[in-house]
Structure 1
Amino acid sequence: MTAAPRLSRRTMLRGTGALGLAGIAGLAACGRPVDDSTELPQVSGDYDGPPITLQFWNGLTGGDGPVMRTLLQEFTAAHPAIRIEMYAIPWGNFYQKFPAAVVSGLAPDFGLMHNFQVATNAARRVIVPLDPLVDALGLQESDYLPVVWGSGLFQGQRWSLPLDMWPDSLFYNRRVLEQAGLDPDAPPTNRAEYEHALEELRRRDIQGHWLPAIDPQGVGRGFDSLLWQMGGELYDAEGGRALFGEDAGIRALEWQHSLIANGWSPSDVSGSDANVAFKNDQNAFLWGGPGALINDLAKVEDLDWDVAPLPQIGPHRAAFSGSHQFVLMRQREFDPDRVTAVVTFLRWIMANSIGWAKAGPVPARLPILQQPEFAELTAQSHVAEGVEHIRFYPLVPGIAEVQTTILYPAIGDALLGQIAPADALARATEQASFLLEENLTKYREAR
């Protein structure tokens, strides 16, 4: 086994380029971006003032965008005085543009962002704590899973309102399983069953799990799920030390590598390759999030598919999940009418988030999952069977960039045979230590 090369600090900083993190690079040069002494006004009841137009920014540029626009129309029909202009910007651009808008005094009223970006933007103070609005929003801890309730909390304050959860799940092609002599109504639930199914498929010249080795984002979230299933953690509680290179991470990555080594997966495919193969009955299993896959697969005529929670490969049940979360952008001065109108919308959409489930994600509020209408969404309700075991990234500023710029590419390198799994993770752990150290300093100064 080749020893992981050590890197000088200069080489590391030049190599990642990630220290000017997406979405806040411009802010770092400006020092403290805005005066964070402004306070939210007290809000009670629905907005009943003159006509008002709110600005709502998000990254919903895919099939989820039209679903949100439909919900906005339904809201305005119920609240004619409030009009909401939605600006859907690709996520990468969104995380760059909205902080700049806050600095310039042109911030939208509210936005939607990923849970793993909340801590970063809270540390930069470009969003505001929602604690003064908790009662007006009708937030109750009992309405959420503990991991979801806690996902909007950072340094003892609530910074975001969870809309949904989208755990990685097992999408399976029923026709391919049946042709291999496997029960299409009993998808594998554990390692033995999963490997048995893959071997039966291989015996019939079908590579049943197309692992997207050249798609770091897709394969990386599978690694996260497996690491947690193996009993490991990505980082320590403070976000100052990477733990993914320890034994649990090695076992997780070695299992992924075994999919290729055993002939159960091609060696160099992307997520889109796997998706196309699945749609053409050449692939039995996809690991992925419901937000993208449910509506995509539903559009394919005569595709016989279903979805279930991820199989338990390690000693524990776990699955990576993300969440879209509403945030209020910091303003130079808050207008009570505008804040009241935003709260009116947020309260409405949380009560009506069954409509958002049509976009694929599972609503965050547990009472919504008990509604008969949710049971009618077959795929989403099957995904929801596994939500008690979801895991989120830790609430540490800058963690998402460490994942995407350091850990996930290292996983791809190992799966492409360029480096042994243990060496890939050791190298990534060393690289991550530089960025984690810089993050702790950077975000401490920002606060």
Structure 2
Amino acid sequence: MYTRSSASPPAPAPGAASGLTRRRLLRHGTAAAGALLAAGPLSGCASPASADASALSVWDLFQGGDGMLMDDMIKAVSQGARGFEVERTILDWGPSYYTKLAMSAAGGRASDVAIMHLSRLAGYAPGGLVDPIDLDLLAEYGVSQKDFAPAVWARAQHDETVYAIPLDVHPFIVFYDKDAADKAGLLDTSGELAPLGSPEALIDAGKALAKASGQKGILFGHVTDPSQSWRQFAAFYAQTGASFTLPDGGPPQIDVDAAVRVVSFMQQLFDGRTNPNNLDYYGALAGFIGGRGGMVMLGEWELPALKKSGIPLGAAPFPQVFDKPAVYTDSHSFVLPHQDNPDPARRREAHRYIAAIVKQSLTWASAGHIPAYQPVTTEPEYAALRPQSSYAKSAEVAVLDPPNWFAGAGSNFQDRMSQPLQSALLGNMSAEKAVRQMVREADTLLRQPNPVA
């Protein structure tokens, strides 16, 4: 049995309902983050008690194309005598998802398994809102630490205890028009984007792409977006080798000189002429699809839309222009939301389910995501996925948000970092002033108490 329920169900695609036994609409109220401390049972949410007694309850935030791929993966592991019985609840992506996840764990209404961005783990593991993964039990089902890139595995831990099993790595990368890049002389002998190696080389690449395309060079949409500027800054900053450390209570430990150097470079790169500096997210995406730029900086999750565009599409890891290879990423990961008295048999099934799903991640890779379970990336079928396999090595140099309770995907931290960066790119603030504001914002966040500590 596989039951799929949704807080905001997407319209079913043709044939998408095949294999589903029923659909139940669950209503979830949006709660303020401050309600975490006083959270009681979460009314209306799916729980082991409300589901079929033999079915695993699973929460995630995958809708649209990703949602259908997850349907396919769950159907695949639900076949046969040892197939799983799964009741899947889909909630809307955003801060409310994480509030609901925390409330369910605090109020005794947690699902058996849930999806969490790895960058959010530091806000949940220390407060006991997720339970540790039993690595011995997971190993019984053929999944172990050696199967994951060290850079990602390190962030699945808190105090040397593993609390998450990564499903994917979804990096910030570059997509490019292969014809324009070839005309600009930017491809290597295998037809892939050649390494650039310096800030000056990336600036020159933008000029060459603009000349080759007859339009703009590199597109980047950041205006009013709460995350884009931070993703770009975090990648370049990590490449300098400097650390961005936010110890509890402060002050932030940020290399101001390195940060100013990075913001100054971002201003040079997006000069408003060769490379526009005033695009929003969808403006950059539409501009690239419409042939108005030779390259665009986006998350790999935009691959399905770009493949439909008809562009001769190439993709590559985020360009290394400073001393150290680094790519800004995050990871959809499986966690065990806290239960006071988990049933041992259900916990065993939860581990078996996680192991089975990560082994299905070749399906997940079709949307552009890099499988975190590395044995999949060594399969010939993955190597044949183009351009996905072109940026697979991003997982080896993954850089996530600082491990703080207030940081991570969809967080206020990313928004507060992006605002001064946006001003700097628009020419309304100097690099020095933008960095000073970033430091002040980080310091303010560090002085706020963790509501679940």
Deviations, residues 256-281 of structure 1 (Å, cap 9, x unaligned): 11123262222310121111111111
Q: Which of 103, 106, 120 is 1:117 aligned to? A: 120
Q: Which secondary structure does the structure 2 equivalent of 1:82 belong to?
A: coil
Alpha-carbon distance between aligned partners in 1 of 2:122 and 2:86, rounded to the nearest angstrom = 26
Q: 1:251 aligns with which of 261, 267, 275?
A: 261
Report whether the alignment pairs 1:284 with 2:290.
no
Identity, in percent, stands at 25
Q: CA deviation at 1:393?
A: 2.4
Are the equivalent residues in 2 in contact too, given 1:235–1:241 (CA < 8 A)?
no
Aligned residue number for residue 274 of structure 1: 284
Q: 1:152 to 1:179 in 2, by over 3 A?
A: same
Q: Is the 8 A contact 1:406 1:428 kept in 2?
A: yes
Q: Deviations over 1:190-214 (max 9, x none)?
A: 2344222212234465221122230
Gaps (5+ residues) in structure 1?
Answer: 1-21, 35-49
Corresponding position of 2:218: 209
Instruction: After TM superposition, give the deviation of residue 422 of structure 1 in Å.
Output: 1.3
The alpha carbon displacement at 1:161 in A equals 0.7
- 1:74 paired residue number: 76
- Structure 1 range deviating more: 305-314 or 170-179: 170-179
1:196 paired with 2:204, answer yes
Q: How far, CA to CA, are the matches of 1:61 and 1:103 in structure 2?
A: 26
Deviations 1:72-94 (A, max 9, x none): 01111135652212222122231
Q: Which amino acid aligns with 1:85?
A: E
What corresponds to 2:391 in structure 1?
Answer: 383
CA distance in 1, matches of 2:342, 2:106: 15
Structure 1 residue 140: deviation in Å? 2.5
Worse overlay, 378-387 or 149-158? 378-387
Paired amino acid for 1:287: M
Cα distance in 1 for residues equivalent to 2:77 and 2:32: 30
Cα distance change of structure 1 residues 412 and 80 upon mapping to structure 2, 3 Å threshold: same
Match of 1:366 in 2: 374
Name the count of aligned residue pairs. 404
2-structure distance, mates of 1:175, 1:101 = 51
Query: Which is worse superposed, 114-123 or 92-101?
Result: 92-101
Q: Deviations over 1:124-181 (max 9, x none)?
A: 3221111364444544322222111111100221111111112222211113334556
Unaligned runs of 5+ in 2: 1-30, 42-51
- Once residues 442 and 387 of structure 1 are traced to their aligned partners in structure 2, the CA distance between those partners, rounded to angstroms, is 30
Corresponding residue SS for 1:325: strand
Indicate the residue corresponding to 1:298 in structure 2: 307
Distance in 2, Cα, partners of 1:273 & 1:74: 38
User: CA contact under 8 A between 2:186 and 2:194: conserved in structure 1?
Assistant: no
- Within the candidate set 328, 340, 357, 1:320 is matched to 328
Q: In the aligned structure 2, how far is the partner of 1:245 from the partner of 1:406?
A: 18
Do 2:221 and 2:285's aligned partners in 1 also have CA atoms closer than 8 Å? Answer: no
Alignment partner, residue 318 of structure 2: 310
Q: C-alpha separation between the residues in 1 aligned to 2:117 and 2:441? A: 25
RMSD over aligned Cα, in angstroms? 2.6
Could you list the per-position Cα deviations for residues 343-391 of structure 1 after superposition, in whole angstroms to 9, with x for gaps in the alignment?
2211212223222212321111222211111111122211113332222
Equivalent-residue separation in structure 2 for 1:23 and 1:147 (angstroms): 33
Q: Which residue of 2 is the match for residue 425 of structure 1?
A: 435
The answer to which of 187-196 and 103-112 deviates more is 187-196
* Structure-1 residue corresponding to 2:92: 90
Structure 1 or 2: more helix by fraction: 1
Query: Cα gap change, 1:194/1:188 in structure 2, threshold over 3 Å: closer, same or farther?
Result: farther
Q: Alpha-carbon deviation of 1:217?
A: 1.3
Match of 1:26 among 35, 41, 60: 35
